[in-house]
Amino acid sequence: MAMLQFFIAVDVTVVNVALPSVGSDFEVGGHTLTWVVVGYTITGGGLLMLGGRLGDVFGRRRVLLLGTSLFGAASLAAGLAPSFGVLVLARLLQGAGEAVALPAAMAVIVLLFPEGPRRSRALSVWAAVASCGLVLGFVVSGVVTELLGWRWIFLVSVPFILLVVVATALLVPGDRPDGRTPLDVPGALLLVAAPLLFTLGVVEAGAADGGTVPWPAVAALAGSAVAGALFVRVERRARVPLVPPRFFRNRPRVLANLATALLSAALSTSFLLFSYYLQNRAGAGPLRAGLTTLPLAVSLIAASVLVPRLLGRWGARACVLAGVGCTALAMAAIALVALLGAAGPALVPAMVLVAAGMGFGIVGLQYVAVSGVTEEDAGIASGVQRAADQLGGSAGVTLYVGIGFAPALGGVDPYLASGCLALVGLAAAGLVARRISLPA
């Protein structure tokens, strides 16, 4: 289970350093390349709640095998993709595999290890492996892309995923499915369709000629709004909705998830901007770009150790505001480095600030998002928080990078444009976080 978690976590960040190489091979611009990132996170975040229910209905072992096999097959397809469209489709399927496999994998851990020290130790390993995967994705991407080519960032995981499938079939005991629980399939599909259409609309609008009305973009954005409205309507009428209406009665939890989406939007954008600047502006190769992000990796590890200790002293809201502030300083630093045309190492302070923003902000928001949960809604609370994180990150990359790097902006520096857009979102995150209040 930890091996599966590691490679799924790696795939969230491993594409960042490889994106310029992908764009060069397929002759695709920076705003269109965002599909490689957001395609994975949209389907992963949108189908996550449905994936958790699938394990209850069809059996966790069976669903785990299905999701892991889909993730492995999609990784192979991404590595062998003959065109950019096939690569994006493979990334969409990778996200779907993640959404199906991860909830089942965590459920297997909870069922195999009894409550107490053994389960706590197992879940600690699970969380630590996820953090290591996210952090190492940056470095692994640079090393593999430089030495073997970008396709191997996907292909290298295939034999390990195959090992997970075989080990799951041999070692994980079967369980009884509960076929009586209804599935909210329409709600899940609409939750994926809305952000996908939104991404398509933004990309098409950015690529359009300024003298004509981009009707495909208008149609896609209108479709996104309709899908969002239909999702709300379907959830109100579903027998077992993905997100029960009672969830929205807890004001701190709702605000925490909204702030999570806004903060993740800027954090995900910063990762792409680091990669683009190091390779497209500073002229670094993939290996050098990956190694330059080591301060980001080290700072993330340090933040994961430090922040839980400070959370009890400062309180969740203070930690969240500190995280938003650090991320805002990081975005301003990225824009300044781009305007000055400085060398790649000048981004190191911004990387440290991003790590602090991620450590303080996301950890504090996770605490608020699951505070006061009961046994009945613990899974819903954690699932919504993770979905807000992933969908917020994909929306940020779509808006901030998609618009900032769009040809339609003409002579505006793309790093300045993306940074300014992210700062607007972070200002909104700060206003939301200030309204979070928890009982003592």
Encode pLDDT of 169-179 as tens digits: 998 887 776 66
pLDDT of residue 158: 92
Q: What is the rounded (10 degree) CA torsion for 429, 33, 224, 432?
A: 0
For residue range 60-114, what is the model confidence (pLDDT) as tens digits?
Answer: 888 899 999 999 999 999 999 999 999 999 999 998 998 888 888 877 877 777 7
Q: Is the pLDDT of residue 263 over 90?
A: yes
Residue 169: half-sphere exposure toward Cβ, Cα within 13 Å: 11
249-440: CATH topology: Growth Hormone; Chain: A; (1.20.1250)
Domain coordinates in residue numbering, the chain: 1-183, 249-440
d(C-alpha 135, C-alpha 355), whole Å: 10
Q: Mean pLDDT across the stretch 220-234?
A: 88
**1-183 with 249-440: one CATH topology?**
yes
Question: For the domain with range 1-183, which CATH number is right: 1.10.10.60, 1.10.3720.10, 1.20.1250.20, 2.40.50.100?
Answer: 1.20.1250.20
d(CA 260, CA 393) in angstroms, rounded, equals 9
Report for 48-52, 244-248, 374-378: range of highest mean pLDDT: 48-52
Distance separating alpha carbons of residues 276 and 267, to the nearest angstrom = 15
Length of the chain: 440
Residue 210 reports pLDDT greater than 80: no
What distance in Å separates the CA atoms of residue 418 and residue 202, rounded to the nearest whole number?
14
